Amino acid sequence: MSIVLKTPEDIAKMRTAGQLAAEVLRMIQPHIKEGATTEELDRICHDYIVHEQKAIPAPLNYKGFPRSICTSVNHVVCHGIPGRKRLKRGDIMNIDITVIKDGYHGDTSQMFCIGEPAIIAQRVCRIAYECLCIGIREVRPGARLGDIGHAIQNHAEANNLSVVREYCGHGIGRAFHEDPQILHYGKPGTGVELHPGMTFTIEPMVNAGKRFTKLLPDGWTVVTKDRSLSAQWEHTVLVTDTGVEVLTAQPEETF
Ligand code: MF3
Ligand code: CO
Ligand code: CO
């Protein structure tokens, strides 16, 4: 267990990687529509990352993952494998992008709506985003990881939604998944203390039903056990001297 504190040189490269990952999410947006397959979206992202950004799609061959992005539709919680399934009106989908540039990782994901999903589907997407933002607002030197987890859990459960516990955020840098683990539930004032130079992801998975998950036989796809809808948003963040910098922020986002 060792947390890597990033130097100013590391941070500059993390910023670049983070912004490339965010750019892929903007690029793919107009391609997400009824009738598109998730493997078409994967190919577009793959080609863009490799040929335009001259970067590496981190998921490809990571522990045997067969594609360059994760696409998690409706009751899929995370790690959905792009395939021949076509998007239909009313679906909600998470796209998770991780790129490696100059040796450093940037990791971000967001929800997309196809057509106009049911109110409950829109609601789980919105509350999951609020959970991410509420978690980010806890990040500052001297805060503890339990403060982040508690804030997220509290917001989800206050809205009658549940937080997935089997998967979590993670330190990130030269490695995809570094220490520490960032749980999206917990108790205030507990856990690792935050220090300037730490970089990690916050990526809450929020379910409309119960929190329990099941791994499909493909060894990757995680679904809700009760088949309820699930939503996830992710950013890579840096602990600064005064608070937080969101390395994968979109231009219009404020935290
Ligand atoms: N990007 C995911 C995360 O947020 C990890 C995907 S691992 C993969 O940590 F192998 F499924 F791509
Ligand atoms: Co991540
Ligand atoms: Co990710």
pLDDT in tens, 186-220: 999 999 999 999 999 999 999 999 999 999 999 99
Phi, psi of 183 (to 5 degrees): -75, 145
Query: From the alpha carbon of 67, which atom of ligand 1 is closest?
Result: 12
What is the secondary structure of 33-101 as a DSSP string?
-TT-BHHHHHHHHHHIIIIIS--EETTTTGGG--SSSEEEETTEEE-PPP-SPBP-TT-EEEEEEEEEE
Could you say which ligand is closest to the alpha carbon of residue 79? 1
Round to whole Å and give the CA distance between 21 and 13: 13
User: What value does the mean pLDDT take over residues 242-249?
Assistant: 99
Q: What is the pLDDT of residues 87-122, one digit of tens each?
A: 999 999 999 999 999 999 999 999 999 999 999 999
E strand or H helix at 15:
helix 8-28
**Which of 61, 62, 69, 105 to mutate for ligand 1's pocket (most ligand atoms within 8 Å of CB)?**
62
Whether the pLDDT of residue 17 is over 90: the answer is yes
Q: Which residue is closest in CA terms to ligand 1's atom 7?
A: 59
At 2, list the tokens: 């060792």
- pTM comes to 0.99
Please, which pLDDT band fits residue 52 given cuts at 50, 70 and 90?
very high
**Which of 45, 65, 68, 96 to mutate for ligand 1's pocket (most ligand atoms within 8 Å of CB)?**
96
Do 194 and 143 form a contact (C-beta atoms < 8 A)? yes
